[in-house]
Structure 1
């Protein structure tokens, strides 16, 4: 990178920090801090949803899969898109009118405090792991582009996100997400995609140059497609960072429309980056590490200035995902654990100050875990396996089957969580079996315990 590109990237980081400071003035109440006052219209809301769905793992991971498998690499992000669209179609109407901040609060009203506590813990672990994936990605990008050592690169990237999230809460995240959505869209759809295709001589030349298997929608394998379905379709529907963004909409109609729109955007994003990965295969066929396909191609084909903007778009995807996830984790701990079990009489000002302290603590933990794991896709798969396997069945079945009991939901979350962690040990953290066994266990337990228990009415 030359001086101009480095300057663009550093200016972008500076803008995010300034926006965080602006967010302080808007976060005057607990609802402002946690849900940005639930005042977002369609265009701002769809941008925020898309920004939180598509992180650095999605951006660089889709390009990597395009490089290795061709067009079928689009399934990775597309399953996320299908998940958020399904949430808009089937879930948002079911949670309409619920005055809650978290999934766990909703489960607590339906099934009691015990279920609220255990679901908050499980979901907080998931969101923290998502933060870890984004910090690893940020560190890798800064390390490659600016030449800084990997450890301080992770600490700096994570520190910037931590700073603006602590200051303004959801308002700072919302304002930065709007910027990040524009930068992401410009960098991928209007610069990286067309320039990559132009460099290989057009789409026809590209399709003739890559292996024939790269043009198959199933080249990645049905087993991998099914794994993505289990991890991301189910996971996005019950993800706290997604739900928290849904609650920032000014109406259910806006939330539903923007969820469907963000889903469509995600599918197009995954498709565009899979093609970029194929271009990288043609132009850089001898990469030693396919995970560097996006950054290596950008460094190869983009002129000064545009390179800095495109790399800022990668950082946008990373930072928006990280800020949303860390804030979601802090909200779960503050609202579903501290407010319920430790400090029940907190004022709004105390809730905000406690949230900021929790965000700081979680951010430091996430940075430490990032330095330890240093593998973005492994951390992401673990996060979604924990979430989908343990939370999906109790939440969705509970919304549609009123007969489900508190004991059944609590038992399902506990049992499936144990099965998932034991399966990680037995089959490895890259196996699909933990999430399959978690879903099956959760379904069997929640149905079995419900049918053998006395019917109960909702606790809400």
Structure 2
């Protein structure tokens, strides 16, 4: 089974191709007003923090003063985002309650990083005033390794930003009568880019908190109760769904392994996460934030998402969707949005649409901040010889964020499918960066040359296997059930250990000869 429920930390929000075939009921003027007010509120938050930002430290890491609840909810909003709204619904539609195990790997990743990663990264970040993830590599390895990591991360997050803006634009054009995709792209993109560029990470975190509350409240108090009532309650669910949809064992070990190897590592290499670790007041607040995020990922949001997907499957089986006679022929990830568009009355549809855009924007703004941080701190700063004042550094950060945002919009407008760029960059990030960061933090024999080549070849292995569908030269076929990241991370690990030991022993030998 192959699923595409992923977003900024690894989970793709939903298949953009599917949105091409989606057409909601058009919005009433009341729904439209609710939606406009919500968007203006997001811009208002950005403008409020624009007045408060004084330095790049304020802009990128919120002055290192955020509390655990704001950070925790921001992590959840960014991580789960659109993947929760539609991707998890697709899992519930396809395999039922067992789809919740996907976000269980998110909980494991969050808690593992809280225990092992945060104690080291938080201390280093505050001590050395780090802004980005690649600065860890510069500290433990060298500038060359950090530059490569910064380039990889920047490309990945620009792709993520484009995909989110494009998804939001397609959702808007499908919902608002008379709105074409290009106009929607400009409007949605500008809203996300402007409040992020002027407000910085603090605006992102506070809007993420608002967006998460809108999303969770909309689904708890509107989506689930109305969908449950519309399909006829528990008896209708039991009679309409296959028995395995109601069991937690309707999944195989390969899928659990693939989810684990794909999702858990991103908690150790995601730029968006490192920015939030640095933004916390200290280690204690960061750990608490990650524990909060883990609990909200699983079981709370995981089960909510798959339950809504299961209700959509019941509605499809009952013939509630216009023009759909066979639920099995329907795009599973479109089940949830079609369900809500079918059952919601005037006013509530506007609220739910705002919830969807909350999920999308909460991922887009964080990706934009990550890409901007990589470019300013990890790339431009490496080649700049000028020491900028706080004011100039802040202005540069805002200008780059605007520029990256505009480029992401342009990319989305020219490429109606940016998923390939996003997927390849993400695969490179996970399979290339995971082992070197573990080595930097936990292994004293780690060597810069080993980090560079394990990053490059580990990531390249994953991309090549994705392109060839796990085929090697001479016609050798690797098991397709295993995700390509497994092989990429394995190559990265092998190279990292062997090259590190070789250079460590070589240095020891040279050192010993010099002493003698």
Change over 3 Å in CA distance of 1:371–1:289 after alignment to 2: farther
Counterparts of 2:215 and 2:260, CA distance in 1: 24
1:26-55 per-residue CA deviation (whole Å, 9 max, x = no partner) reads 111121111111111222222222112122
Counterparts of 1:220 and 1:156, CA distance in 2: 41
Would the aligned equivalents of 1:386 and 1:420 in 2 still touch at CA under 8 Å? yes
Question: What residue in structure 2 maps to residue 316 of structure 1?
Answer: 358
Which among 97, 108, 130 is matched to residue 71 of structure 1?
97
How far did residue 194 of structure 1 move? 2.5
How far did residue 444 of structure 1 move? 0.8
Which among 380, 384, 395 is matched to residue 342 of structure 1?
384
Which among 372, 387, 393 is matched to residue 435 of structure 2?
393
Question: What residue in structure 2 maps to residue 247 of structure 1?
Answer: 278
Q: Does 1:269 align with 2:319?
A: no
Counterparts of 2:483 and 2:82, CA distance in 1: 25
Which among 276, 279, 289 is matched to residue 331 of structure 2?
289
1:391-449 per-residue CA deviation (whole Å, 9 max, x = no partner) reads 11100122111111111111211222332333333228999543222201110111010
Question: What residue in structure 2 maps to residue 11 of structure 1?
Answer: 37
Would the aligned equivalents of 2:55 and 2:390 in 1 still touch at CA under 8 Å? yes
1:53-92 per-residue CA deviation (whole Å, 9 max, x = no partner) reads 1221332111122112211222333333332222112210
Q: Does 1:216 align with 2:247?
A: yes
Question: What residue in structure 1 maps to residue 257 of structure 2?
Answer: 226
Question: What residue in structure 1 maps to residue 23 of structure 2?
Answer: none
Change over 3 Å in CA distance of 1:432–1:157 after alignment to 2: farther
- Map 1:277-426 → 2, pairs under 5 A: 277-285=309-317, 286=324, 288-374=330-416, 381-426=423-468
Counterparts of 1:230 and 1:279, CA distance in 2: 29
Change over 3 Å in CA distance of 1:443–1:344 after alignment to 2: farther
Counterparts of 2:102 and 2:189, CA distance in 1: 25
Question: What residue in structure 2 maps to residue 24 of structure 1?
Answer: 50
Where does structure 1 differ by over 6 angstroms across 4 or more consecutive aligned residues? 428-431
Counterparts of 2:182 and 2:410, CA distance in 1: 10
Counterparts of 1:365 and 1:440, CA distance in 2: 35
Q: Does 1:151 align with 2:193?
A: no
- Map 1:148-187 → 2, pairs under 5 A: 148-187=179-218
Question: What residue in structure 1 maps to residue 64 of structure 2?
Answer: 38
Change over 3 Å in CA distance of 1:60–1:179 after alignment to 2: same
How far did residue 275 of structure 1 move? 0.7
Change over 3 Å in CA distance of 1:379–1:122 after alignment to 2: closer
How far did residue 380 of structure 1 move? 5.5
1:70-124 per-residue CA deviation (whole Å, 9 max, x = no partner) reads 1122233333333222211221012232131111001110001011101111111
SS in 2 for 1:404: coil
Would the aligned equivalents of 1:67 and 1:281 in 2 still touch at CA under 8 Å? yes
Counterparts of 2:147 and 2:242, CA distance in 1: 51
Counterparts of 1:218 and 1:60, CA distance in 2: 22
Question: What residue in structure 2 maps to residue 56 of structure 1?
Answer: 82
How far did residue 128 of structure 1 move? 1.9
Counterparts of 1:43 and 1:184, CA distance in 2: 17
Change over 3 Å in CA distance of 1:2–1:169 after alignment to 2: same
Bigger shift: 16-25 or 345-354? Answer: 345-354
Would the aligned equivalents of 2:427 and 2:463 in 1 still touch at CA under 8 Å? no
Q: Does 1:446 align with 2:496?
A: yes
- Structure whose alpha-carbon radius of gyration is higher: 2
Q: Does 1:137 align with 2:167?
A: yes
Normalised by the size of structure 2, how large is the TM-score? 0.83
How many pairs are equivalent? 457
Change over 3 Å in CA distance of 1:442–1:451 after alignment to 2: same
Which among 105, 110, 130 is matched to residue 140 of structure 2?
110
